Structure 1
């Protein structure tokens, strides 16, 4: 697949993930979109899904090979998928990420930022805190 086509697919996949368009996500993955590739702004499809609390979309992307701990970049989209979900108290999405191997202690900003537990505690999101602690978050 040529680079231009891949960029278009990635852009469309990020948008579909952000808006929870499951059918579109599936179609784009079948068309060859890379679930782990960031768009030109640095935003990953998994981050886009997780910041919206779209657990079903996150499951689709993770099942297609999206790395659970890949950091996203771009204005307003910085951080890990787990930090994004924890920040907003999206407990089902947090569980989905943990079930697919997300590191509950991984600090965002390449190791210099907050952990998912710190985000959830600041929320405050007690149910999300409990899920993270049960997964071993410190």
Structure 2
């Protein structure tokens, strides 16, 4: 597949994930869209589905090969687990964890908040409980920035 077609498929896949269009996501994957590839803004399809709490699309993308720990965006987004935890999407958090998402992986290249910190900031206690049951530690906080 040529690069231009792949970029178009990726753009459509991210938009379908944002809009929760499960049938379109499946069709685009069948057409060869890469479930891991970010769009031109850096947004990954898995992050887009996770932040919107679309557990069915998250499951589809993970099954198709999306990595649950890949960070999305260029500092404005984060990991799929952080995105889901931030908004209290507990079922989506469970799905990501079931597919191997690291409950202690901080966003922003390891310098930002953890999924548990996002859940607690929500406040989304049920989501925090799920993360703790999966091994999330309360001591995983953002590292202070160095001058």
TM-score range relative to shorter protein: over 0.9
With normalisation by structure 2, the TM-score equals 0.92
Give the distance between the partners of 1:29 and 1:124, measured in 2 at CA: 35
How many Å apart are 1:37 and its aligned residue?
0.3
In our comparison, the structure showing a higher alpha carbon Rg is: 2
Partner residue of 2:21? 21
Give the distance between the partners of 1:75 and 1:129, measured in 2 at CA: 23
Return structure 1 stretches of 4+ with deviation > 2 angstroms. none
Unpaired segments ≥5 residues, structure 2? 138-147
Determine which structure has the larger helix proportion and give its number.
Answer: 1
How many Å apart are 1:58 and its aligned residue?
0.1
Give the distance between the partners of 1:107 and 1:129, measured in 2 at CA: 15
The CA RMSD over aligned residues, in Å, is 0.9
Partner residue of 2:92? 93
Give the distance between the partners of 2:111 and 2:5, measured in 1 at CA: 35
Aligned residues: 137
With normalisation by structure 1, the TM-score equals 0.97
